[in-house]
């Protein structure tokens, strides 16, 4: 905006609306970019959860029998050996699942930078109009 004293109120209003429109478009573009970035992070987190399931199933199928056999050879009855092995693998799967779900919390997907910018812009506009 220029400080031309000969500008009409309509011209000033038109300039202000053009600036506000440009600002809104910029903020929408920023929000879109930030949401896309956060969705990519969510995709990685979902991949971790799927990976955790695959690892847990593979580990249970391959190592369970070997560990149960080893514990049985060490003198622990077969039933107790199987229970011990099952609990250990369940704990590992639980830890991996918690990590994946924590990375998917909605707060990590929200466009926080855009929200801060919109608040800052609103405050700046308010200060401009409060000064007049």
Query: Count of alpha carbons within 13 Å of 20, Cβ hemisphere only?
Result: 11
Global confidence as pTM: 0.42
Return the pLDDT at 4. Answer: 61
The token pair that represents 65 in the structure block: 């029998």
CB 78 within 8 A of CB 8: no
Q: What is the mean pLDDT of each run of 10 residues along the chain (132 residues)?
A: 66 82 86 87 92 87 88 94 89 91 73 78 74 62
Return the pLDDT at 127. Answer: 73
The token pair that represents 92 in the structure block: 């590992």
Residue 80 Cα to chain centre, angstroms: 41
Return the pLDDT at 3. Answer: 60
Return the pLDDT at 2. Answer: 52
Return the pLDDT at 1. Answer: 47
Query: Count of alpha carbons within 13 Å of 120, Cβ hemisphere only?
Result: 8
């Amino acid at each position: 905006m220029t400080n031309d004293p000969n500008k009409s109120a309509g011209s000033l209003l038109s300039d202000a609306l053009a600036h506000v429109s440009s600002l809104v478009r910029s903020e929408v573009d920023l929000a879109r970019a930030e949401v896309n970035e956060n969705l990519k992070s969510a995709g990685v987190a979902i991949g971790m959860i799927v990976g955790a399931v695959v690892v847990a199933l593979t580990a249970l199928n391959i190592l369970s029998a070997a560990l149960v056999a080893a514990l049985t050879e060490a003198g622990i009855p077969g039933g107790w050996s199987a229970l011990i092995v099952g609990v250990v693998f369940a704990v590992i799967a639980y830890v991996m699942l918690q990590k994946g779900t924590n990375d998917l919390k909605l707060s990590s997907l929200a466009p926080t930078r855009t929200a801060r910018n919109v608040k800052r812009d609103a405050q700046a506009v308010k200060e401009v109009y409060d000064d007049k």
